[in-house]
Amino acid sequence: MLHEESLGPHEIHLERWIECAPFEQLLGMDIVRAEDGEAILTMPFRRQYANGGSIMHGGATVSLADTAAVMALKSKVEPGTHFGTTDMAIRFLHPVIQGMITAKARVEQQEERLWHARVEIVTEADVVAMEMTAVFKISRRRLTTVAEGR
């Protein structure tokens, strides 16, 4: 049974603007690069991420794609900028059965407060396993729970 204190709310303080948060650390994500609106992240296929069919659970794959898109966006906006995902579309193309997967993300500004992201998840064999598109909306308020430095 969980203790009530473990159910939140939780205040998370990151040391840097572009850094993995606790959930991303739990999944073993690694930020290879995040600059100029592009990001590359990797994540291992651990046994705990398998579904009943012995392939990587779609939620784990989507988590990597979403995080890669966020890191690409963070590389373009000012530290402390608050934003949220308003739309996401996923296409699963090939099962992930082993190894490391890589997310390649790119964002572009569409309107003053709207950013569009495209992400590919690629296997070690260079097979595109998933594609994701997402829309992020920039808030008018600043986020105060993260470090100001990049």
Domain assignment of residue 95, yes or no = yes
**CA–CA separation, 42 vs 68, rounded Å?**
9
SS3 content of the chain, % helix, strand, coil (to 5): 20, 40, 40
Q: How many folded domains does the chain comprise?
A: 1
Domain assignment of residue 1, yes or no = no
Cut 0.75: pTM above it: yes
94: DSSP letter:
S
Domain assignment of residue 38, yes or no = yes
**CA–CA separation, 135 vs 150, rounded Å?**
23
Say if residues 88 and 122 touch (Cβ distance below 8 Å).
Answer: no
Q: Is 123 left (phi over 0), alpha (psi -120 to 50) or beta?
A: beta
Domain assignment of residue 18, yes or no = yes
User: What would the two tokens of residue 125 be?
Assistant: 């064999």
* Omega before residue 79 within 30° of 0, cis: no
**CA–CA separation, 67 vs 26, rounded Å?**
13
- Which tens digits make up the pLDDT trace of 80-123? 999 999 999 999 999 999 999 999 999 998 888 999 999 999 99
Domain assignment of residue 4, yes or no = no
Report the pLDDT value the prediction gives residue 120, as an integer from 0 to 100. Answer: 99
Report the pLDDT value the prediction gives residue 126, as an integer from 0 to 100. Answer: 97
User: What would the two tokens of residue 7 be?
Assistant: 């159910």
- Note down the domain range covering 106: 12-142
The segments of the chain whose pLDDT lies below 50 read: 147-150
Q: Residue 30 forms beta bridges with which residues?
A: 42
Q: What is the CATH number of the domain that holds 137?
A: 3.10.129.10
